[in-house]
Amino acid sequence: MIEQLFGSKTRVKLLKLFYGNVNRSFYVREITRKIDEQINSVRRELANLQSVGIITSDTSNNKVYYEVNQRYEFFEPLEQIFGAPVPKKPKRTKAAAPEVAAEQPVASDDMKALGHVELACLLGQFTRDNTSGVDVLVVGNINANALQKYVAELEQQENKELRYAVLSTDEFKYRLQIKDRFISNVMSAKKQVLVDVLGIFS
């Protein structure tokens, strides 16, 4: 039904990808792989979405990258339809990872397998903002082996080598309090928040 409302299956898949990954940018071949559609169809729909202002593009390293335009006048209603649920601090004391869109690299079950995750963000190569110096940040009581396995799978999925950092909740809060340079860079960098039990970004 939603395909009928929005004109094409490819367009709906693109909207789910972009609104489910706010602050992420993708190049064409990466998009075709993630939504499993023909490149010509993807190019056509990207042009359509860009022409009305839903997405923007820019060129980096001889590749054209696309991402959702957060200044688009109908950004919020479209995000409500196609976006992933916003990570919020749960009322329960037990940490819970939010559900995320199927196109995102992180599933809630994957995050639960890492241990007690309090905060998780994608930065760096995912958002093309390297000010943080890291691509994946995970905060909490984390199983090191599970995290290494997760990052290895994510690297294979994204076809890139990733830099990651893991901090205990106490260390993160302390470094946040003293305005540690690394944490300050993370806070100011462009990021995609996956889990935010601490309520830092809510």
Question: pLDDT (tens digit, 9 = 90+) per residue, 69-97?
Answer: 999 999 999 998 888 655 444 444 444 44
Rounded to 5°, angle at Cα 122 from 121 and 125: 155
Find all residues with CB under 8 Å of 72, minimum gap 6, and list them: 53, 54, 78
Tell how far CA 88 is from the center of its chain: 15
Does this model's pTM top 0.85?
no
Question: Is it the case that residue 47 has pLDDT exceeding 80?
Answer: yes
**At residue 61, does pLDDT exceed 50?**
yes
Q: What is the phi/psi pair of residue 9, to 5°? A: -65, -40
For 88, phi then psi, to 5°, come to -130, 160
Q: Which domains does the chain have, with CATH numbers?
A: 2-82 (1.10.10.10), 108-196 (no CATH)
Q: For the stretch 59-89, what's the b/e string if a residue is b when 16 or more beta carbons lie within 10 angstroms of its beta carbon? A: eeeeeebbbbbeebeebeebbeebbbeebee
Look up residue 132 and give its two tokens: 């943080």
Closest among 177, 178, 151, 146 to 163, alpha carbons compared: 151
pLDDT digits (tens, 9 = 90+) for 104-160: 445 445 677 889 999 999 999 999 898 999 999 999 999 989 999 999 998 988 888
pLDDT at 119: 94
